[in-house]
Amino acid sequence: MKINKLNSIIILGLVAIIGILIAQLLWTKEAFTLEQKKLSQKTHIALLEVAKKLYEGTNHELPAQNPVQKIANDYYIVNIDNDFEPDILEFYLKSEFKKMNITTDFEYAMYNCQSDEMIYGNYISLSEKSKAKQSVYFPKHQNLIYYFAVRFPNETSYLFSSMRFWFVLSIMLIFILLIYVYSIFTLLQQKKYSELQRDFINNMTHEFKTPLSSILIASKYLIEQNPIKEDKKLHTYTDIIINQSNKLNSHIEKILNVAKSDYTALELKIESVLIVPVLEEAIQNIQLKYPDANITIESNTDDHQIATDIFHFSNLVYNLLDNAVKYCDSQPEILIRITIENQILKLEFIDNGIGITIKNIPFIFDKFYRIQNSKSNEVNGFGLGLYYVKKICTLQSWKIAASNNSVNGTTITLSIPYKK
C-alpha cells in the first residue's frame, strides 16, 4: 500500500471517530438539558400539588396565578396566601416528590412574617444518606407573605447519575479513539520495520549475487580445463560447486522476487493458455532434476484452456511438483488430475509424500513458514514456494486448498473459474 493512500485512510478514520465522539458529546449535552427540564417539570407539578393540599380544608381558594416560581435550576418558591404548619408541609413534600419519582435530597425553609425572616425547615435525604442540618441562606422575597422555598443541593450529581448510560457510552468512544490512535501508531512502526527489513534483504541478496556470479564464472571456466577433466575427484568437486552455486542463486532470485512483489504488485500478462502442455513442460524440468519421480496427468481431454500468465503459472506448477517430490520418503508418485465441476476447473496435485499434520495445514501458505518434520532438515528452502503459489492464485481470484489423502500424501487443489 502506498504511503499516501495509507495516510488518507488513517486521516479519514481519525476524522470519522472524532466526528462520532463530538456528536456523542453534543447528544450527551442535549440529554443533560432534557433531563434538567424533565426534573424541573416534575418538581413544578409536585410543588403545585403540595400547594393544592395546603389549601384543602380552608376557606381560601388557590390563586389563579401559578404559585410556583423557579428562581434557579435548584431553587423554587411557592406562594401560599394562607397559614400552614411546617410538619404538614414536610409530609406533603415527601409524599408528592415520591409520587413524581424525585429521589434527590432537598431542603426547605418558610417565611415567618412575625420575625420577617426565612426559617430553615429541614434537610430531607431521599437517597437514605444521613445528613446534618444545612446552614444555607434562603433569601427573602418581596410582596410575598406566606410562602416556602425548596432547594435541591445535589441536583447536578443527581442529573449526572441519571445519565450514566450516556457517560459510559462517551467514555467507551474515547477509549476506542485511544485504541485506534495506538493501533495506527503501532501500524506505522511495523510498516517502518517492514521497510527496513525489505531494504536489508534487498541489499543483502544483491551483495550475495556479485561474489556468487564470480564463483559461477570461475567454476564454469575451471571445469573446462583439461587437468580438471582428467582428475575425476577435482571434476566432481568443481561440479558440486557449480550445482550448489546455481541452487543458491535460485534461492536469492526467489527472495528478491518475493521482496519486490511485497512492495509493488505483480503485473500479470493474462492470455489464453493450454494447461496440459504447460504441465508436461514442468514435468520434464522436474524429472531432469529428479529422474526417479513418476508424474502422470489424468484428463479427459488435452484442450483445456485457462486465462492466466504463462510464466507465473509455469512457476506455480513447478513449485507444487518440486515440493511434492522433496517431501517424499519413497519413490515419488504424483498424479495431476484435471476435472471440471459447475464451471470450475479443478487442478489437483496428488502425491504420496509424508503428508501434513492437520494443525499445520492452515499455515503452509504463509511467508517463511516451514513445518518441522523428518524432511525439514534435509530439504533446503526459505518457506517461500507455497507463499508464492498462494499469491499468484489470489491475484487471479483462484482458490487453493490443501488436504491429506486417505492413505498417505497430500493433495493440493486449485479451483479456477472456467469457461469453454
203-215 residue pLDDT tens: 766 677 778 778 8
Assess contact for 140 and 118: CB atoms under 8 A.
yes
Instruction: Tell whether 300 and 378 lie within a shared domain.
Output: yes
Q: Does residue 246 sit in the same domain as residue 222?
A: yes
Instruction: Tell me the per-residue pLDDT of 66-80, one tens digit each, with 9 for 90 and over.
Output: 788 888 888 888 888
Beta-sheet strands, E only, within 256-392: 271-274, 294-298, 305-308, 333-341, 344-350
Going across the sheet that includes 75-79, the strands are: 68-72, 75-79, 147-151, 106-112, 117-124
Q: Which of 111, 130, 161 is the endpoint of a domain?
A: 161
Instruction: Mark whether 211 and 75 lie in a shared domain.
Output: no
Question: What pLDDT does residue 136 have?
Answer: 63
Q: Are residues 69 and 187 in the same domain?
A: no
Q: Which range marks the domain in which residue 117 is found?
A: 3-161
Q: Based on the structure, what is the number of domains in the chain?
A: 3
Quick one: 156 and 241 in the same domain?
no
321 and 183 in one domain? no
Residue 17 sits in the same domain as residue 152 = yes
Q: Are residues 178 and 230 in the same domain?
A: yes
Q: DSSP code of 363?
A: G
Does one domain contain both 241 and 297?
A: no
Residue pLDDT, tens place only, 114-145: 667 777 788 888 665 545 555 566 777 777 77
CA-CA distance, 270 to 272, in Å (whole number)? 7
* Residues 125 and 196 occupy one common structural domain: no
Residue 308 scores a pLDDT above 60: yes
- Whole-angstrom Cα distance, residue 82 to residue 349? 102
60 and 149 within one domain: yes
Write the CATH number for 379: 3.30.565.10
Strands 147-151 and 106-112: antiparallel
Residue 414 pLDDT: 92
| Domain C-terminal end among 161, 186, 203 | 161
Domain C-terminal end among 263, 291, 321: 263
- Strand, coil or helix: 400: strand
List Cβ neighbours of 257 (8 Å cut-off, separation of 6 or more). Answer: 388
| pLDDT for residue 112 is more than 60 | yes
Assess whether 97 and 151 both reside in one domain.
yes
- Backbone φ and ψ of 306, nearest 5°: -135, 160
pLDDT digits (tens, 9 = 90+) for 329-384: 888 889 999 998 888 899 999 988 888 888 888 888 887 767 766 555 555 555 67
